[in-house]
Amino acid sequence: MLMYSVYLGLLQMQFILHYDSTYREVKYSNIHLKDIDEKVLMGINVAPIISLLYTPLLIRFFGTKWVIYLATGIYALFVSTNYWERYYTLVPAATAIGTIIVPLWASLGNYITRMGQKYCEFVHYKDHQDKPEQLTKDKAHKYIITFQCIFYAFFELSFVWAELPFEFFIKGHLKNYNHTLYNVKSCGTYQKGMIAGLNSTILDRLPKSMDLIIVESVLMGVAFSAMLIVLLLCGSAYRPTEEIDLRSIGWGNIFQLPFKHMRDYRLRLLTPFFIYGGFELLFFLTGYMLSYGVCALGLEAFGRILITFGVSAAVGALLSMPLEYMRRGSTLFVTTALHLFLIVALFAWAPQPRDPTQNIVVYAVAALWGLGSGFNSTGLSILLGITYEDKNRQDFIFTIAQWWKTIAIFITYLWTTYVSSMKVKLSVLLVCLLVALLCYLVLKHKVKQQQRPRLPHLPRPRRRNRGYRYFADEQSDTDSEDKEADGEDNDNADGEWEEPSVRERRMRVK
């Protein structure tokens, strides 16, 4: 949460300052800041496209905790490049962020799910020792739900903390909305582009260089604090022997398994919701915030609108907990109902430029959209964590989900460049939401009919290590069985390898 707050706040402050023509001429007259900003956005949004090829390899090689730590380090690197804003510092750092986005979120989803499962094992440790057969997987569901809801509640608050640099520093340097929106003729559904006619000079006075250095130093300190928190307070998601087993199935198998998991009908039918999750977040941050909120209330209202969204999304994440306890997947229906109503309303709403009397409606829409967004992100992570409880599959599943979200974000980045009509954007959003709802209903029907999913076979670990780390399995290391296991697919995943229980290990020692 801290790192994402720093990243969003710095990116927003950077784009606002670079947009002002006076700031560009006075501070950086010899370089093209607008061109650099375009390349930064391109690096962040285009680089994740190929992340499906290396994310599982990265997670299995380093482990979930160390991938998260590596990602926070790359975000801190991006923060440090703003001390010296040049093409050769900002663009490579932004591209590095683009390459680590999917590994970061796949690791976070896997990590939170594993922490819920491990906490369940800790709470029911005595039951597991006395009667191992009574510790069913269903007991971990409530812990997975609780952990995911708490995590997303804190994460959504990052949109609130990200606005602190804007509210306490940038906002005092902005001109009044009557100046910045003087040439704006229409807003909302009639808007062409982001804000057609926005004044090129939005700063009333230029910020001092020392003030910028102080703000960036504070953000850098928070970034280092986030790295230390991950390093010192986050434990490992897997035991050392489990991590060795996860890697020992072979790098070729690790590379192929994400693609093989896409044969599962549950994952295929959830894909439209993954895509919609990327669409709706980027539409709010770019389309609604600028074409509806800023266009009506001015740039000085940007922070308050995003704070409203963040608080509401955090509330939605917390409310997902009782909803999921009552009925699995109910949060996705709530998301669909809220966003369907809002999209239809945005089709018909065109706020007047420079009209602060519409602030209640602007904030109400932001709050409702944030509530639905919180339900959507939390509900999808809970659904994946409950559906795919096998610890040997979770990194593949969350990688696929996050990759589809980044594809949607990439498409949203493209339409900000090539699609100017707000009605076209709303139409794409509406169609995607309806398709996602239809696919989810089909998924519920297939699950109710008890249609068995097709899951790929997980190869047996090739245990090269000897000694105290492992107890000898019966012919577990023979090449013939490894080749036979690697070459077969099991549609129901009934024959996949599972680590022996504590009681079985004790019996083997005796």
pTM for this predicted structure: 0.85
Nearest CA-CA partner of 174 in 13, 285, 34, 26: 13
Candidate ranges 11-25, 125-139, 477-491; pick with highest mean pLDDT: 11-25
Residue 103 forms part of a structural domain: yes
> Within its chain, how far is the Cα of 190 from the centroid?
31
In single-letter form, the type of residue at position 275 comes to I
CA angle (70, 75, 80) in 5-degree steps: 120
Give tens-digit pLDDT for 127-176: 655 555 455 556 788 889 999 999 999 999 999 999 998 888 888 888 88
Quote the percentage of the chain above a pLDDT of 70.
87
Residue 330 and residue 214 share a domain: yes
| 29 in a structural domain | yes
Contacts of 350 (CB under 8 A, 6+ apart): 186, 187, 188, 189, 190, 191
Residue partners of 235: CB distance under 8 A and separation at least 6: 65
Domain assignment present for residue 505? The answer is no
Neighbours of 477 (CB within 10 A): 15
Backbone angles phi, psi at 192, to 5 degrees: -115, 110
Confidence of residue 463 (pLDDT cuts 50, 70, 90): low
Average pLDDT over the chain reads 83
Residue 464, pLDDT score: 60
Cα separation, 398 vs 277, whole angstroms: 14
Looking at the fold, whether 488 and 391 belong to one and the same domain comes out as no
Gap between the terminal Cα atoms of the chain: 49
Name every residue whose Cβ is closer than 8 Å to that of residue 453 and which is 6 or more positions away in sequence.
Answer: 264, 265, 266, 492
Instruction: State whether 427 and 484 are in the same domain.
Output: no
Residue 15 placed within a domain: yes
- Whether residue 489 sits in one domain with residue 354: no
Whether residues 485 and 378 fall in one domain: no
Task: Flag whether pLDDT at 462 surpasses 80.
Answer: no
Considering the domain architecture, whether residues 182 and 313 belong to the same structural domain is answered as yes
What is the pLDDT confidence band of residue 422, given thresholds at 50, 70 and 90?
A: confident
Buried-state track 34-55, b at ≥16 Cβ within 10 A, e below 16: eebbebbbbbbbebbeebbeeb
- Asked if the structure places residue 273 within a domain, the reply is yes
212 and 305, same domain (yes or no):
yes
Which of 64-68, 161-165, 436-440, 455-459 comes out lowest in average pLDDT? 455-459
Q: Which of 75-84, 149-158, 380-389, 501-510 has the lowest mean pLDDT?
A: 501-510
Two tokens, residue 189: 């559904």
Three-class SS of residue 193? coil
- 388 and 482 both lie in a single domain: no
- pLDDT tens column, 485-497: 444 444 444 334 4
Torsion angle of alpha carbons 282, 288, 291, 293, nearest 10°? -130
Q: How many domains does the chain have?
A: 2
146 lies in the same domain as 25: yes
Return d(Cα 94, Cα 112) in angstroms, integer.
26
354: pLDDT strictly greater than 50: yes
Range of the domain at 484: 457-464+477-496
Number of C-beta neighbours around residue 142 at 10 A:
15
Same domain, 424 and 483: no
Among 501, 510, 509, 508, which residue's Cα sits nearest to residue 131? 501
Looking at the domain assignment, is residue 469 inside a domain?
Answer: no
Q: How far apart are CA 430 and CA 280, in angstroms?
A: 10
Residue 360 lies in a domain: yes
Instruction: Assess if residue 302 is contained within a domain.
Output: yes
Domain CATH for 258: 1.20.1250.20
List, in sequence order, the alpha helices (H) in 124-176. Answer: 125-130, 141-156, 158-161, 164-165
What tens digit of pLDDT does each residue of 301-322 get? Answer: 899 999 999 999 999 999 998 8
Q: Which two tokens stand for residue 70?
A: 């590596």
Write down the pLDDT at residue 32.
Answer: 74
* Three-state secondary structure call for residue 322: helix
Task: Please count the other Cβ atoms lying within 10 Å of the Cβ belonging to residue 195.
Answer: 20
Q: Is 293:187 a contact under the CB 8 Å cutoff? A: no
Between residues 172 and 103, which one has the greater pLDDT? 103
Residues 125, 219, single domain; the answer is: yes
- Do both 257 and 126 map to the same domain? yes
- What percent of the chain is predicted at pLDDT more than 90? 35
Element (H, E) at 316: helix 302-326
